[in-house]
Amino acid sequence: MLPYLTISFVILLILRVPVSAAMGLSGAFALLTSDMNIPFAVVPQRVFVLLDSTSLLAIPFFILAGAIMEQGGMAKRMIGFAEAMVGHWRGGLAQVSVLASTIFSALTGSSAASATATGSVLIPAMKRTGYPEGYAAALQASSAAIGPIIPPSIIMVVYGSLAGVSVGSLFLSGVVPGLFIAIGLFIVNAIMARRHGWGGGAKTPLNERVIAARHAAAALLAPIIIVGGILGGIFTPTEAGAVAVVYACLVSLVLYREIGVRKLLDVILDAALTTGVLGLIIASAGIFGWVLALEQVPQMVVDWVQSVTASPSIAVLLVVLFVLAVGCVVDVTAAVIILVPVFAPLGASYGFDPIHFGVIMCLALVYGNVTPPVGLLLFITASIAKCSISTVMKHQLPFYLVLTLALIATVFFPGLVMVLTYL
């Protein structure tokens, strides 16, 4: 069955069938040609079992909350706050991009939402002030990649649901790596700005900073409510998603009044479509992953790695390299579905804490968001900047270095990564 799965998947990719559909179709084909005599009716049953998860219910909530925040004025005010705080730094607009993306990531957990909401404003502004279009797009893609790391994180919800580990603990363990990436991007911007003579804007007076903070206060309070509620045991991550939706509606409809009921209905429809697409990806990847499980691929991988090395460090390096390779060709969410059943047992066999190992895998998968040929964020930001992917890639190398250092730090300093889970 495994050869049929592999060959049909490769052929469908060559035919340019979307990856999500290719996984589902190749999995179904492998089952039909299997000598295990598995009824095809089992396929929809397995899809239902995979999607019937309380943890996964957090995903549509956070998608909807992010959409409301983007359209309801919260994203705009966060950008204004970021510009008031760091716009006068060397490479000012570039630094604003990093800070705004970091804050927005802490609201939605979606890298695509962050790239669209902040990129649509800041990439054109950076181009107008003399930044190369490729650099603006590369920076925004890399900044938006913080979205799946800083809580709430959609891929961490999926990981926790499949691996049977606490989603709340995964959220908290993603804070330090996410901030590490943000600090690294600030440093790269400062170095590049000094090299190319990119200055900052005029320093915002203190009273205007206070005004900007006051205008953005409701938006800035959202991540405190979400993360603080989870950390304090007030609600679960799924309940946090529902709280985020209610809070976003109250702020956007009552406080800011930038969207009405009719506009809200349009936002809900768009969020439903996004959720449907993501659900299709999860379902298709689930079929693919189930076939791998039937063929005992997870156990084969564990046995092979254990035969190669007894060192946990070398083992996790092999895992990271494999995850990076998969992330180059498979959607990040789909990659989580496929890889968790394969590598979670491996991490346990080498004595890794399941939360720590989950953060390592999620951070490695972030590369998939900014790596061709399937790097979604590259396509989003290149489209906004109106340039080619090759133009963006010319400026991407220093940002890959930041992600690499963050990944290394995450692997070798588990105590630092998980410090918030110990509180």
287-299 residue pLDDT tens? 887 787 787 777 7
Q: Which of 49-63, 186-200, 336-350 has the lowest mean pLDDT?
A: 49-63
How far, rounded to the nearest angstrom, does the alpha carbon of residue 344 sit from its chain's CA centroid?
A: 19
Q: Which residue has the tokens 């995450």?
A: 410
Q: Is 15 among the domain residues?
A: no
Quick one: tokens of 60? 């549509």
> Which whole-number Å values give the CA distances from 281 to 21, 169, 274, in the listed order?
8, 25, 11
314 lies in which domain range?
Answer: 55-422
> Which whole-number Å values give the CA distances from 37 to 1, 30, 42, 344, 402, in the listed order?
11, 11, 11, 29, 49
Q: Is 40 among the domain residues?
A: no
Cβ–Cβ < 8 Å for 334, 281: yes
Q: Is 33 among the domain residues?
A: no
What pLDDT is recorded for position 241?
A: 84
Q: Is 16 among the domain residues?
A: no
Relative orientation angle of helices 376-385 and 133-144, to the nearest 10 degrees: 140
Higher pLDDT, residue 321 or 36 = 321
Higher pLDDT, residue 145 or 302 = 145
What pLDDT is recorded for position 6?
A: 83
Q: Is 10 among the domain residues?
A: no
Q: Is 3 among the domain residues?
A: no
What would the pLDDT profile of 356-391 be if each residue is shown by its tens digit?
999 999 898 888 778 877 677 888 899 889 888 889
Answer yes or no: is pLDDT of 405 > 90: yes
What pLDDT is recorded for position 423?
A: 66
Q: Is 5 among the domain residues?
A: no
Answer yes or no: is pLDDT of 246 > 70: yes
Highest mean pLDDT among 85-94, 101-110, 346-355: 346-355
Cα 384 to Cα 284: distance, rounded to the nearest angstrom: 29
What pLDDT is recorded for position 202?
A: 74
Cα 382 to Cα 156: distance, rounded to the nearest angstrom: 26
* CB neighbour list of residue 125: distance below 8 Å, 6 or more residues apart: 93
Q: Is 309 among the domain residues?
A: yes
> Which whole-number Å values give the CA distances from 231 to 148, 225, 227, 362, in the listed order?
18, 10, 6, 20
Structural domain count, the chain: 1
What pLDDT is recorded for position 235?
A: 82
- Which pTM does this prediction carry? 0.82
